[in-house]
């Protein structure tokens, strides 16, 4: 679900009243729900997520929607979207959430392509810290990607859309299958073997960081080709596309290790590694005439 997704069907008319919330405008639409800007009776504006009727008719989708609220209601972290309440009004299931004025990381990258190492490190560090808190709470996000990170005006990065979250304390609540978005899936998520692992989220964050730094993902192709690449192909080093500080490149490639045991063990470890990066500036290459002069001088000295 992206705040910035283009609007389409299933939209509620302006000023529709759902319970104590009045719809102001659509903010974005996903496959199963629409997020609106809404206002409650006190005048507070919220992000108001409403499940589409078709999705609401499916017990599994209703269950996932309600699980998302129950999960977020227990979490309190600056890097995780806060929820206020959930309910049903006029036959529509809704979640009222914190309104983060800004846009998604995906929207920003569509305009900027890449954002520079300093900003990329700061955003990735914030998300890593949020994931560490989430994992310590017994939850796995399973869909970390650029469209699920909001950027506030003060530089705050906020992880949201917990519709596919996995609760390690209640594994029986979850149906088997592949969850997440192909471009960001860890190999073990694709194999769908065993219990979801927190290091899968860190792999996905590694893809996000790769994309922020280089302006592209490591793998492209059809859905099947991308999934196969995650399973079998070594990702091209970020420096294959543009200058990347060596320490930062090491961190990205560690996050993208095929085996979970070769990655960072926790979001905190990932964040600590990012805090230790010294951004280096690419040294400009000398002009051809200067290189030729230096070569001639060296040749004369050797003679």
Query: pLDDT by residue (tens digit) across 146-189?
Result: 999 999 988 999 999 898 899 888 875 656 667 889 999 999 99
pLDDT digits (tens, 9 = 90+) for 34-77: 999 999 999 999 999 999 999 999 998 898 899 889 989 999 99
Contacts of 254 (CB under 8 A, 6+ apart): 206, 262, 263, 264, 273
Average confidence (pLDDT) over 5-32: 82
- Report whether 95 contacts 86 (CB < 8 A): yes
Judge whether residue 3 has pLDDT over 50: no
- Report whether 56 contacts 92 (CB < 8 A): yes
Total count of domains within the chain: 2
- Report whether 135 contacts 201 (CB < 8 A): yes
Residue in the structure block whose two tokens are 């914190």:
98
**194 and 152 together in one domain:** yes
- Report whether 37 contacts 25 (CB < 8 A): yes
Average model confidence (pLDDT) across the chain: 89
Average confidence (pLDDT) over 90-117: 91
% of the chain exceeding 90 in pLDDT? 69
Instruction: Determine the pLDDT at residue 30.
Output: 81
Average confidence (pLDDT) over 275-292: 70
Contacts of 158 (CB under 8 A, 6+ apart): 78, 79, 80, 81, 100, 130, 149, 150, 151, 152
Q: Which two tokens stand for residue 121?
A: 């490190």
Last residue of a domain, one of 35, 62, 97: 97
What is the distance between the alpha carbons of residues 38 and 49, in angstroms, rounded to a whole number? 9
Say which CATH number the domain at 55 has. Answer: 3.30.200.20
What is the distance between the alpha carbons of residues 233 and 121, in angstroms, rounded to a whole number? 25
Residue 80 three-state SS: strand
**82 and 33 together in one domain:** yes
First to last CA, the chain: 69
Last residue of a domain, one of 34, 67, 97: 97
**182 and 273 together in one domain:** yes
**132 and 182 together in one domain:** yes
Examine residue 302 and state whether it is found in any structural domain, yes or no. Answer: no
Say which CATH number the domain at 130 has. Answer: 1.10.510.10
Highest mean pLDDT among 161-170, 221-230, 293-302: 221-230
What is the distance between the alpha carbons of residues 207 and 186, in angstroms, rounded to a whole number? 9
**231 and 267 together in one domain:** yes
Examine residue 126 and state whether it is found in any structural domain, yes or no. Answer: yes
Closest CA to 200 of 220, 174, 171, 180: 180
% of the chain exceeding 70 in pLDDT? 88
What is the band of 288 on the pLDDT scale with cuts at 50, 70, 90?
Answer: low
Examine residue 303 and state whether it is found in any structural domain, yes or no. Answer: no
pTM: 0.86
What is the band of 5 on the pLDDT scale with cuts at 50, 70, 90?
Answer: very low
Closest CA to 220 of 237, 205, 235, 239: 235
Examine residue 82 and state whether it is found in any structural domain, yes or no. Answer: yes
Last residue of a domain, one of 30, 64, 97: 97
**174 and 56 together in one domain:** no
Examine residue 3 and state whether it is found in any structural domain, yes or no. Answer: no
**90 and 114 together in one domain:** no
**109 and 61 together in one domain:** no
Q: Is 49 annotated as a binding residue?
A: yes
pLDDT digits (tens, 9 = 90+) for 245-261: 999 999 999 999 999 99
Q: Strands across the sheet with 157-159, in order?
A: 103-104, 149-151, 157-159
DSSP result, 134-174: HHHTTEE-----GGGEEE-TTS-EEE---TT-EETT-GGGS
Domain residue limits at 92: 16-97
Examine residue 235 and state whether it is found in any structural domain, yes or no. Answer: yes
**91 and 159 together in one domain:** no
Examine residue 11 and state whether it is found in any structural domain, yes or no. Answer: no
Judge whether residue 14 has pLDDT over 50: yes
Catalytic site positions: 143
Residue with the bigger pLDDT between 5 and 168: it is 168
Instruction: Determine the pLDDT at residue 169.
Output: 86
**91 and 127 together in one domain:** no
Instruction: Determine the pLDDT at residue 2.
Output: 42
Judge whether residue 283 has pLDDT over 80: no
């Amino acid at each position: 679900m992206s705040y910035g997704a283009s609007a389409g069907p299933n939209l509620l008319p302006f000023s529709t009243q759902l319970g104590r919330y009045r719809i102001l405008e659509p903010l974005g639409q996903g496959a199963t729900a629409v997020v609106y800007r809404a206002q409650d009776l006190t005048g507070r504006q919220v992000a108001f997520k409403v499940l589409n009727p078709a999705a609401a008719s499916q017990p599994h989708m209703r269950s996932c929607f309600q699980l998302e609220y129950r999960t977020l209601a227990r979490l309190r972290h600056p890097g995780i979207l806060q929820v206020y309440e959930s309910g049903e009004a006029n036959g529509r299931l809704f979640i009222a959430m914190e309104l983060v004025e800004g846009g998604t990381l995906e929207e920003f990258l569509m305009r900027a392509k890449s954002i520079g190492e300093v900003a990329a490190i700061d955003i990735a560090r914030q998300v890593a810290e949020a994931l560490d808190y989430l994992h310590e709470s017994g939850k796995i996000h399973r869909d970390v990607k650029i469209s699920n990170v909001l950027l506030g005006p003060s530089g705050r990065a906020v992880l949201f859309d917990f519709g596919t979250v996995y609760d390690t304390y209640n594994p029986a609540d979850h149906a088997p299958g592949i969850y997440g978005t192909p471009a960001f899936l860890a190999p073990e998520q694709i194999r769908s073997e065993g219990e979801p692992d927190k290091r899968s989220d860190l792999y996905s964050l590694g893809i996000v960081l790769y994309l922020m730094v280089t302006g592209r993902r490591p793998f492209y192709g059809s859905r099947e080709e991308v999934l196969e690449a995650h399973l079998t192909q070594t990702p091209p080093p970020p420096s294959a596309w543009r200058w990347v500080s060596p320490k930062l490149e090491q961190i990205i490639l560690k996050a993208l290790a095929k085996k979970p045991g070769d990655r960072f063990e926790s979001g905190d470890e990932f964040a600590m590694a990012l805090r230790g990066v010294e951004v280096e500036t690419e040294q400009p290459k000398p002009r051809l005439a200067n290189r030729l002069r230096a070569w001639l001088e060296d040749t004369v000295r050797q003679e």
